[in-house]
Structure formats: structure tokens, C-alpha cells
Amino acid sequence: FLDSGNYMLITGTDFNDGAINFSTCHYVERERYEQDRNIQIHNGSILITKDGTLGKVAYVQGLSMPATLNAGVFNVQIKDANNVDEKYLFQYLKAPFLMDYVDKKATGGTIKHLNQSILVDFPVILPQRSEQTLIGAFFQQLDNLITLHQRKPFLMKWRTSDANRNQTNRLVL
């Protein structure tokens, strides 16, 4: 791995709450990037960890350079974009359905592994494409709202009241 370069390497440790933290990514040489087109990613790619911490899902946005994956991450490829909305699929995979499935099907002893054959058999409910788009957008807005509120400074002040001569602290938001 390189500390800088023109080809980014994304690993499962770069996943952060459904997104990629590009500042933690390492880099690889061009030859490593070109080894396999199936693991070259782009904005809109859906990634799933398959070793160690299983089933973490990330949606790639804001990628500004060529990037590839290490061996511990799956790149989910949608065969028919006319029937599957990528943001819906991301939200569906991020929901508890995948983790419940993975917990039952993962292989290995101490360190669990998610095999491609297991993931390929994962059942995904697919409503009409138009409904998928609405569902995906709804959950993305919900995620954005949650993120916004997590960043909002938590201001509080304590008020002391003397009710019936008992000191009571109340949290006022």
C-alpha cells in the first residue's frame, strides 16, 4: 500500500456509517488497479465487507479518482438498472435483513467469512422501480437528517429550582 498516489484502495476499515471515509484510504500502483475491472469502483457503487466485520455496507459518493477494492470487500453490481434502483438496494442491504441472513449463513470459526455464493442467494424484495426510487430517496433523506442532528451542537443548560425546598436539576434543551 502507498500513502499517496493516483489509484485509491478502499478497504472495509474505510467504511464509515454507510459511506467511505476517503481520508483513511491507501493507494496502489496502476498495475494493481488494472488487475481486475470487477473491483474497480465508481460513484454509485455498493460495497459490502466479507471478512472480519461482516456485512458492513457502504454507498460510494464523492469519489474523485480511480479506485479499487481489497480482497475483503464485495462490489455489488446491478445487472439490470432498469429494474433495480441502486439507492434502494443500498438501503435494503444496510437494513437488518442482510445481517440476520449473514449471521445464519457465514462460514468460518473465530473469524467469519461471507462467501459470494451466500451473498448471491440473499433474497431481496423488489417492488416496482418507481417505488424503489421513492423508498431509496426517503431513507437517504432520513439518513441525512440523522447525520445533521448528530452534527448539531448539543447545547444544554441546567436550571435549578427550589420546589418544596428540594434542589432539582432539570435539563433544558
- The count of domains in the chain is 1
Q: Is 91 helix (H, G, I), strand (E, B) or coil?
A: helix
* Domain membership flag for residue 26: yes
* Domain membership flag for residue 103: yes
* Domain membership flag for residue 128: yes
* Domain membership flag for residue 163: no
Whether pTM > 0.85 for this model: the answer is no
- State how far the alpha carbon of 117 is from the alpha carbons of 90, 102, 169, 172, in Å: 19, 12, 57, 53
Distant-in-sequence, close-in-space partners of 158: CB < 8 Å, separation ≥ 6:
169, 170, 171, 172
- pLDDT by residue for the chain (173 residues), tens digit each? 889 999 999 999 999 989 999 999 999 999 999 999 999 999 999 999 987 778 899 999 999 999 999 988 999 989 899 999 999 999 999 998 888 888 887 776 666 778 888 888 889 999 999 999 999 999 999 988 887 776 655 444 444 444 444 444 444 44
Q: Could you tell me the residue range of the domain that residue 121 belongs to?
A: 7-152
Cβ distance 48 to 60 under 8 Å?
no
* Domain membership flag for residue 110: yes
Q: Which residues pair with 170 in a beta bridge?
A: 159
Would you state the cell numbers that stand for residue 7, as one nine-digit string?
489509484
CATH number, domain containing residue 134: 3.90.220.20
